């Protein structure tokens, strides 16, 4: 018997429930597989190594095997459905033969993004760098396409590198994770995806998606998240606070992704969006939209060495919070974050809002409109308490904006502001001007320089480059 890569997978399986659909018929093996034995029987695979599943009712493990294999837990290393009868099924060949050599040279294989490390040009490359799951052993590479499988891959107790490849759409409200959230405590208990140290979480293909989840990177090190469409979670029970602002506001929990107290994190080539649950679909209660979304991506609690690159952030209100509050003094001297080559499309505010952090913003493209009926642009960069922002070659194309104050503001107390310097940025095709009569009268004493070299595109090239490259579905993952 020959054992190959251990996965919690369903390569070739049908996608699970779409959001809002009813329960589908449970399956005992992945789509395209054929039953070969009941539990305790013998599965006759043949001399070639094939994918073989073991499980039932949409829960199974898959291994690459050959020969005659006993259909039991010992052969597969885990029990995906304890206490219930399971089945084995044979799938496609584990690998295809290499092509016959020809006299002409063959091109080098395309790089596999799942093993890439954070490149130079951002805080995540500083010091030891960010490698995530690079070098993971074959039994620590998982392919998952359901909430249950993803949670199982995350729960493995090990600090060794792991790579988790997401296939298709994973919904934390799917049947295999308990179905629809029943109340706020149930949502809080079941919607978290907590990533351990030395992990790469990456999407396969151009349609890998995570819904109804909050991805949490908390008090760990060396984590990479790439090539995923992340649907920003919707709190099922927003809370009305009559003392928030001049006329009250609805407040929600759950960010699409949050980095808290973590170090060496790379968030790259993802798409963050409220769609399909956009704010125009929410009811108006107490005179305000009953907002069910919180942040898209926040960095807090003294996190360090974070790069946010090549992402598409769209259709969202309060997008990126760097530093949780003016009183979070533990953040001072931390929150080292780089945002580069990101596309902010119809993001109302906080792109990002910064407190305390040494934040580098370069080659980002901002698109919006002050008069848009939903997600109307308020400001992009928030210069909050003790912020230390270096801005370079960013491009703002915002209908209705005429000067710096329309895109860069201090959204908090005027007595608690920060510092920002800018070079080479454009606002609606004209050089962005800080200071003077622009309405952006901030200190320029940021007090730091990047410990890396950024590859700055000229501002005239930023729009097309970012629109072409940002977002999920752009990476080669094998």
Active site residues per annotation: 350
Q: How far apart are CA 247 and CA 238, in angstroms?
A: 16
- Cβ neighbours around 119 below 10 Å, total: 16
Is residue 252 within 8 A of residue 260, CB to CB? The reply is no
Is residue 133 within 8 A of residue 161, CB to CB? The reply is yes
Q: How far apart are CA 138 and CA 157, in angstroms?
A: 16
3-state SS of 418-435 is CEEEEECCEECCEECCCC
Is residue 398 within 8 A of residue 368, CB to CB? The reply is yes
Phi-psi region of 313 (alpha: psi -120 to 50; beta: other; left: phi over 0): beta
Nearest Cα neighbor of 355 from 330, 325, 380, 378 is 325
Is residue 356 within 8 A of residue 327, CB to CB? The reply is no
- Cβ neighbours around 210 below 10 Å, total: 26
Determine the 3-state secondary structure of 124 from DSSP.
Answer: helix
Q: How far apart are CA 107 and CA 308, in angstroms?
A: 31
Nearest Cα neighbor of 387 from 303, 322, 452 is 322
Buried b (16+ CB within 10 A) or exposed e, 361-378: bbbbbbbbeeeeeebebb
Could you please report the per-residue DSSP string of 135-176?
Answer: T--GGGEEEE-SHHHHHHHHH----S-EEEEE-SEEETTSGG
Is residue 349 within 8 A of residue 313, CB to CB? The reply is no
Q: What are phi and psi of 121, to 5 degrees?
A: 115, 5
Q: How far apart are CA 226 and CA 203, in angstroms?
A: 7
């Amino acid at each position: 018997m020959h054992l190959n890569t251990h996965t919690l997978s369903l390569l070739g399986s049908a996608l699970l429930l779409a959001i809002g659909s009813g329960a589908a018929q449970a399956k005992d093996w992945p789509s395209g597989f054929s039953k070969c034995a009941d539990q305790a029987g013998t599965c006759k695979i043949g001399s070639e190594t094939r994918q073989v599943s073991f499980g039932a009712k949409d829960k199974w493990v898959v291994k690459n095997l050959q020969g005659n294999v006993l259909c039991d837990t010992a052969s597969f290393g885990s029990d995906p459905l304890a206490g219930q009868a399971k089945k084995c099924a044979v799938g496609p060949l584990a690998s295809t033969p290499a092509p016959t050599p020809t006299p002409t040279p063959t091109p080098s294989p395309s790089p596999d993004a799942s093993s890439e490390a954070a490149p130079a040009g951002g805080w995540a490359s500083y010091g030891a760098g960010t490698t995530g799951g690079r070098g993971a052993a074959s039994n620590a590479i998982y392919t998952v396409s359901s909430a249950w499988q993803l949670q199982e891959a995350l729960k493995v107790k090990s600090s060794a590198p792991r790579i988790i490849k997401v296939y298709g759409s994973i919904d934390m409200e799917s049947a295999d994770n308990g179905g629809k959230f029943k109340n706020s405590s149930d949502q809080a208990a079941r919607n978290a995806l907590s990533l351990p140290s030395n992990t790469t979480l990456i999407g396969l293909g151009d349609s890998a998606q995570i819904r109804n989840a909050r991805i949490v990177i908390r008090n760990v090190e060396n984590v990479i998240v790439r090539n995923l469409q992340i649907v920003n979670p919707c709190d099922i029970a927003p809370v009305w606070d009559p003392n928030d602002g001049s006329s009250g506001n609805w407040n929600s929990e759950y960010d699409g992704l949050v980095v808290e107290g973590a170090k060496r994190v790379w968030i790259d080539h993802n798409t963050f969006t409220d769609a399909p649950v956009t704010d125009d679909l929410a009811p108006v209660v107490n005179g305000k939209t009953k907002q069910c979304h919180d942040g898209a991506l926040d960095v807090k609690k003294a996190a360090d060495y974070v790069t946010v690159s090549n992402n598409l952030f769209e259709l969202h209100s309060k997008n990126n919070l760097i530093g949780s509050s003016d009183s979070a003094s533990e953040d001072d001297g931390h929150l080292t974050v780089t945002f580069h080559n990101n596309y902010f499309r119809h993001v109302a505010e906080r792109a990002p809002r910064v407190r305390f952090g040494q934040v580098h913003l370069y080659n980002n493209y901002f698109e919006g409109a002050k008069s848009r009926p939903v997600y109307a642009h308020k400001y992009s960069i928030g210069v909050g308490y003790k912020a230390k922002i270096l801005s370079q070659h960013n491009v703002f194309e915002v209908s209705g904006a005429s000067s710096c104050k329309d895109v860069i503001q201090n959204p908090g107390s005027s007595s608690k502001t920060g510092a920002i310097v800018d070079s080479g940025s454009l606002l609606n095709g004209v050089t962005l001007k800080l200071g003077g009569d622009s309405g952006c009268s901030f200190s320029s004493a940021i007090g730091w320089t990047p410990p890396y070299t950024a590859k700055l595109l000229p501002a005239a090239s930023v729009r097309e480059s970012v629109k072409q490259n940002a977002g999920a579905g752009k990476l080669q993952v094998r």
